[in-house]
Amino acid sequence: MRIPISIFALVLTLPLSAQEAAVSPTEELRVSVREWVETMRKIQQEENDWSRDQEVLQNYKEGLESEITTLKEQIASAKTRKEGGDQQSLDKVSEKDRYVAAEDELKRQVRMMEENMAAKFLLFPEPLRKNPKITQGIEAIQRNLLLPADGQTEEISKRLVTITELMADVEKFQQGVHVFPELHTDSKGHEFNMQVVYFGLALAYGVNEDGSFALAGRAAADGWKFQERSDLAPQILKLVITATSEKDVSFTHLPLIQP
């Protein structure tokens, strides 16, 4: 389920200490708004980065495919000239060399993009990774990375399409708020059915049905990490209602989760 951030939920830092509670309402509001603006700025920066990467990959894909088409046409023309047995058959050698050089460069660039994409897989939350299209894209890239050097030019255009489509799907996830049912275990080994709200690839908050157990998490270098925050259960329950119902829209105050 994908919900736009601007319609259903805003995450603000909630002052928790007794000393902060003594601050005037006006000052508290000013601090909360300033922290909210900073949070939105960081989220927007991440969205801009994804959009820029997507645009670069799309432009690069179109350029490479155009180059492949041109080179294939030139090779076909060179073969025709060679069959005629005239002097132009010598040109085929030069054109073939150009094609081989372009193919090698394309192979190198696609391989580099596959490696860069694979390095980001741990930043994908579990519900995103389980999406059939995302799963298929991840598995395809992982298979491609196992190809030997002499097999990396096979289906090169298909490999490039796989990378750009995967980037586009991840970008869609990054731009919204999503609620997923998940199973999580507390520190005592008890398992809970929970509703987890993901703010793109930035933050996540989860709570069980009766509000007795809550989690907060975010992506780390080695994958998503969740910490028990049952003290936030009432706020997260309110957040889940806001994120799943157009009739109960409200502000929800929650702390930012540190990496």
In which band, very low, low, confident or very high, does the pLDDT at 152 lie, cut at 50, 70 and 90? low
Least confident of 85-89, 134-138, 207-211, 216-220: 85-89
Indicate whether 122 and 146 sit together in one domain: yes
Indicate whether 148 and 163 sit together in one domain: yes
Residue 31: inside a domain: no
In which band, very low, low, confident or very high, does the pLDDT at 20 lie, cut at 50, 70 and 90? very low
Indicate whether 170 and 180 sit together in one domain: no
Separation of alpha carbons 253 and 8, rounded Å:
13
Q: Where does a domain end: 119, 150, 174?
A: 174
Q: Where does a domain end: 174, 198, 213?
A: 174
Separation of alpha carbons 84 and 177, rounded Å:
64
Indicate whether 119 and 198 sit together in one domain: no
DSSP, res 17:
S
Indicate whether 60 and 134 sit together in one domain: yes
Residues 100-142 pLDDT 10s: 787 788 888 888 888 998 999 999 999 999 999 999 999 999 9
Indicate whether 52 and 165 sit together in one domain: yes
Measured from the Cβ of residue 230, the count of other Cβ atoms closer than 10 Å reads 15
- The answer to whether the CB of 172 falls within 8 A of the CB of 158 is no
Q: Where does a domain end: 140, 174, 208?
A: 174
Separation of alpha carbons 77 and 168, rounded Å:
37
Separation of alpha carbons 200 and 128, rounded Å:
10
Residue 205 pLDDT > 70, yes or no? yes
Indicate whether 7 and 82 sit together in one domain: no
Amino acid at 94: S
pTM to 2 decimal places = 0.60
Q: What is the mean pLDDT of the chain?
A: 81
Separation of alpha carbons 229 and 257, rounded Å:
10
Separation of alpha carbons 174 and 202, rounded Å:
8
pLDDT of residue 212: 93
Structure-model confidence comparison of residues 149 and 28, the more confident one:
28
Residue 54: inside a domain: yes
Residue 62: inside a domain: yes
- The answer to whether the CB of 198 falls within 8 A of the CB of 125 is yes
Residue 2 pLDDT > 90, yes or no? no
In which band, very low, low, confident or very high, does the pLDDT at 16 lie, cut at 50, 70 and 90? very low
Domain of residue 105, residue span:
47-174
Indicate whether 149 and 213 sit together in one domain: no
